[in-house]
Amino acid sequence: MFFCPGGSAPGKFKGSRSFQVLCSLSLGMSKEVKILLVRVKSDGRQTYNISEVEEQRIPLSTISIRNTASELIKACKGVWVKGKFKESYLLPAFSVKPNIEVHIPIPRDKLNPPTPSIYLESKRDAFSPVLLQFCTDPKNAVTVIRGLAGSLRLNLGLFSTKSLVEANSDHAVEVRTQVQQPADENWDLKGSSQTWPCESSRSHTTIAKYAQYQASSFQESLEVCISCFFFPSSEQKPVGKVIKFGTNIDLSDPKRWKPQLQELLKLPAFMRVESSNNMLSHVGHTILGMNTVQLYMKVPGSRTPGHQENNNFCSVNINIGPGDCEWFAVHENYWEAINRFCEKHGVDYLTGSWWPVLEDLYSSNIPVYRFIQRPGDLVWINAGTVHWVQAVGWCNNIAWNVGPLNSYQYQLALERFEWNEVKKVKSIVPMIHVSWNVARTIKITDPDTYKLIKHCLMQSIKHIQILRDQLVASGKKISYQSRVKDEPAYYCNECDLEVFNLLFVTSESSSKKSYVVHCEDCARRKSPALTAVVVLEQYRIEELMRTYDNFTLVSVMLQMFTKASRFL
């Protein structure tokens, strides 16, 4: 990562003055003393007595989202935190997660609950607010919308293998080499017992070459079927065939994939790649596969191992066909139990590759949704749902993430943000950065969502102000460098933690004159007194205070009136 201290944008540093001299300007927090002028008369003359007013300060421990930014800043004065500021961005009292009793035994025949499936009869049904409410209901882990493509007249042929080859035959494809197995089994390398680790190796090819493989695989299977029909054998078909899965194919380029991306604009707003109420549209930069479309090219047995989406965001997946896919899904409430199984089997829940043994889940009282996704079906994975997928036939799929601006999605995204920090895993979505962007641009009408976001902003200001005061008190100079358009969020170069507003910058190489960003902890490990570190501030505290105070709960009626007034 390159950074230009004193400049207006990240990039290579240019100039003759030294790194330290350029960043020597300190823009400390402006201070003022309130003075009370008392008019008095003495010997017939009018004069004034001057007295300093001691303002009453609210204890930081009692500060809440009902307080103003000014009261919050004053409460932070004089607070000294030894080590890292560790208060959570979440408040348990604001939790909106459904109460699911995981300890009540579930009868075996209830451990495969029916998957909610919606059959649309018209285009109007697809755009009904009832559909949005159903899909995002915290109690619904997954929803299958049958025949959505037909209802909206989506031209899925644009995503067929033939169309993809014609459009961009040399486009890159990541390939996962896997061993073909039944969807409800996962055998170890010796084939002696079922296990959780799901092994695969990675390579790369092009769309044209994978298309040839996909076609030859189908032809080979067809020949085997014909042979078996005319020449039946008592011998079993050999298992453990090696297959190749074409995954993570990037369709983000609007020039290369214009017809495909335009076709997806036919979807309801809450399912689209980009919309105003999608938190991922407020990141400010591209996150491949999340706020862009990715394509998957499959042969039978191709597996997407178990996972929750990055930062627990929702996902949309459409089967292009011609074959089916089989899905397994578990409500977010059970993710910790699944995490324990991963630990038991020596595979990392967040970064490893694993395929749950169904019997393990059933014996632990964990219900599993299991269903078939046919061509034209859209699968909506709700926030935090654990899921894994296997191709039944030859097919292509397209998928992306969405972040509906509701309390459940926001809470789960922030929970995973904090859990990632504990596990030292990068949060692909910079949640603090996104929260401030949402506060600046979106009017929130839901009280629960408002409280969660407001509390996050409050904790963010506390962290910034306390850290800032401690830096200034220790004599550390802080330089102001405002953000520029489309500037990405920053992460620590060492631990991948999101770094918001106060950036600790060091020189990577004296010869290259390039610089990297760190969090405070990692910066102090390199230089305990921060002597070789420049601290940059991207937002003045007054700007954050204005955003905080202006972020208020808006009534639904007021929002409707505001929208209507635009057309008058």
| Domains in the chain: boundaries | 19-92+424-550, 108-403
* Among the ranges given (17-31, 84-98, 249-263), the one the predictor scored with the smallest mean pLDDT: 17-31
Q: Which residue type is seen at 59?
A: P
- Residue 95 Cα to chain centre, angstroms: 19
What pLDDT sits at residue 568? Answer: 53
CATH classification code of 19-92+424-550: 1.20.58.1370
What pLDDT sits at residue 36? Answer: 61
Backbone angles phi, psi at 83, to 5 degrees: 80, -150
Residue range 85-104, pLDDT digits in tens: 789 999 999 999 998 887 78
Give the count of beta carbons closer than 10 Å to the beta carbon of residue 210.
24
Q: Is the pLDDT assigned to residue 475 strictly greater than 60?
A: yes
Q: Which two structure tokens, joined as six digits, stand for 567?
A: 């057309």
Q: Is the pLDDT assigned to residue 420 strictly greater than 80?
A: yes
Give the count of beta carbons closer than 10 Å to the beta carbon of residue 456.
27
> Which residues have C-beta within 8 Å of that of residue 389, sequence separation ≥ 6?
303, 304, 317, 325, 326, 327, 328
What pLDDT sits at residue 44? Answer: 65
Report d(CA 482, CA 478) in Å as an integer: 13
Q: Is 384 exposed, middle or buried (0-12, 13-18, 19+ CB in 10 A)?
A: buried
Using omega within 30 degrees of 0 as the cis cutoff, is the peptide bond preceding 322 cis? yes
Residue range 183-210, pLDDT digits in tens: 999 999 888 899 999 989 999 999 999 9
* Among the ranges given (118-127, 346-355, 406-415), the one the predictor scored with the smallest mean pLDDT: 118-127
> For strand 478-480 and strand 534-537, is the pairing parallel, antiparallel, or unpaired?
parallel
Task: Answer for the pair 76, 469: CB distance below 8 angstroms, yes or no.
Answer: yes
3-state secondary structure of 100: coil
Using pLDDT thresholds of 50, 70 and 90, give the confidence band for residue 221.
confident
Would you say how long the chain is, in residues?
Answer: 568
- Residue 41 Cα to chain centre, angstroms: 67
Backbone angles phi, psi at 278, to 5 degrees: -105, 115
Mean predicted confidence (pLDDT) in 378-406:
98
> Which residues have C-beta within 8 Å of that of residue 123, sequence separation ≥ 6?
151, 152, 153
> Which residues have C-beta within 8 Å of that of residue 271, sequence separation ≥ 6?
316, 378, 380, 402
Pick the CATH number of 108-403 from 3.30.70.260, 1.10.1040.10, 2.60.120.650, 3.90.400.10: 2.60.120.650
Q: Is the pLDDT assigned to residue 345 strictly greater than 60?
A: yes
Report d(CA 380, CA 395) in Å as an integer: 18
Long-range contacts of 205-209 (CB under 8 A, 24+ apart): 205/173, 205/175, 205/246, 206/169, 206/170, 206/171, 206/172, 206/173, 207/164, 207/165, 207/168, 207/169, 207/170, 207/171, 207/173, 207/246, 207/249, 207/297, 208/165, 208/169, 208/170, 209/173
Q: Is the pLDDT assigned to residue 235 strictly greater than 50?
A: no
